Amino acid sequence: MNEKYRPLFEPLSFRSGVELSNRLVMAPLTNYSSNEDGTVSDAELRYYSRRSTGVGMVLTACINVTENGQGFPGEFAGYSDDFIPSLQRLANAIKEQGAKAVLQIFHAGRMAPPDLVSDIVSASAVPDPDTIPVTPRALEESEVEEIIKAFGETTRRAIEAGFDGVEIHGANTYLIQQFFSGFTNRREDRWGGSFEKRLAFPLAVVEEVQNTVKQYADHPFLVGYRLSPEEEYPEGITMDDTLGLIDALTAKELDYLHISQQDFWTKPHRGGELDRTRIEQIYDRTKGKTELIGIGSLYTADQVLAAKNTGIPLVALGRGIIIEPDWVEKLKEGKEDEIYTTLLPTAERKQELEIPNPLWNMITTIPGWFPLEK
């Protein structure tokens, strides 16, 4: 190994007691490839197994905690105990390769596709102006409490299935973010209105998950939280809002926060310090309080090292580890120059990479999503 990359291979211990062998994480990537009944497919198992050698931790694709919380076709589910055997197969496939397995749990809210979900719900009856042209139904207070409990129940299933932790998906405009955002939350009860009331649902989910872990986990089990720093809507989340959310989340003594953004080096558009990157400002806020995962268009070893050198404890590989499943192993062996950073869209490469058909079709047909070789 080239010594300059040694910081990426330092071990890390979370406050929960879960230990990682290095600072590299596989990001939670939707792959659209589960079985029709919501169980994990054999193709997904091969896909995850292929990428679980080398990284310290694998974050799975998001899993819906209620039946109407589905966000994608081909999404594996976790809203019933019937799914525990399926989840166990996934946890085992990841852990057998040496990585810690963390299940990402979520509810899509108003982002649920109407051809998959008949009852689309959200914090308030505010439709998405850009994607799904359906006005969601505002949740009743009793339903809000049921969804909070569902996050706890899915956490219990993750524990029983053998996962090492869960990541609460509070990012990417899904239900938890819909409650936090002033654009999507127009409520006037205890779940909305002021900034503090818009914090109520995210914090209640965190507390429910943490209480479930205390009740059911007999081994170290971590709890993380993913968030998006800003929204483009005028009434939406600003960087100042996010810094307030981070203060509230760090007070809950989570194992880590995971910042979801397309570009690691992005600076704020509204709020915060406009001349400093979001991740640097967030790191200042979390340093010494919780661990932090950064992500965003990082493909080469030097790009990942530069991200790590900002001080953040952990760096996630997203599209990069789909393109190059041996990313970590090549770096460890001093072969960083052999790391693929573009994808050759051939049938032979697809087979070698163990990419399921639905994901492969999207990668090769959505312009600009992946760096493809011509």
Nearest to 64 by CA among 92, 34, 43: 34
- pLDDT value at position 300? 97
- pLDDT value at position 128? 82
- pLDDT value at position 233? 86
Q: Does residue 372 lie within any of the structural domains? A: no
Q: Does residue 371 lie within any of the structural domains? A: no
Does an H or E element contain 62, and which? strand 57-64
Number of domains into which the chain is organized: 1
pLDDT class for 42, splitting at 50, 70, 90? very high
The pTM assigned to this predicted structure is 0.97
pLDDT for residue 282 is more than 90: yes
For residue 136, give the CATH number of its domain. 3.20.20.70
**Judging by DSSP bridges, how do beta strands 57-64 and 314-317 pair with one another?**
unpaired
- pLDDT value at position 133? 76
Q: Does residue 103 lie within any of the structural domains? A: yes
Instruction: Compute the mean pLDDT over every residue in the chain, rounded to the nearest whole number.
Output: 96
Q: Does residue 234 lie within any of the structural domains? A: yes
- pLDDT value at position 131? 74
What's the rounded mean pLDDT across residues 364-371?
A: 94
Q: Does residue 64 lie within any of the structural domains? A: yes
- pLDDT value at position 234? 84
pLDDT tens track for 211-246? 999 999 999 999 999 999 999 888 999 999 999 999
pLDDT tens track for 305-354? 999 999 999 999 999 999 999 999 999 999 999 999 999 999 999 999 99
* pLDDT > 70 in the chain, percent: 100
Cross-strand pairs, 257 = 225, 292
Domain housing 146: 3-365
Q: Does residue 370 lie within any of the structural domains? A: no
- In contact, 87 and 93? CB cutoff 8 Å: no
Q: Does residue 373 lie within any of the structural domains? A: no
pLDDT tens track for 252-281? 999 999 999 999 999 999 999 999 999 999
Ramachandran area for residue 100 (φ above 0: left; ψ -120 to 50: alpha; else beta)? beta
pLDDT tens track for 106-157? 999 999 999 999 999 999 999 887 777 789 999 999 999 999 999 999 999 9
Query: Residues 98, 313, 15, 164: what is their CA dihedral angle, to the nearest 10 degrees?
Result: -30
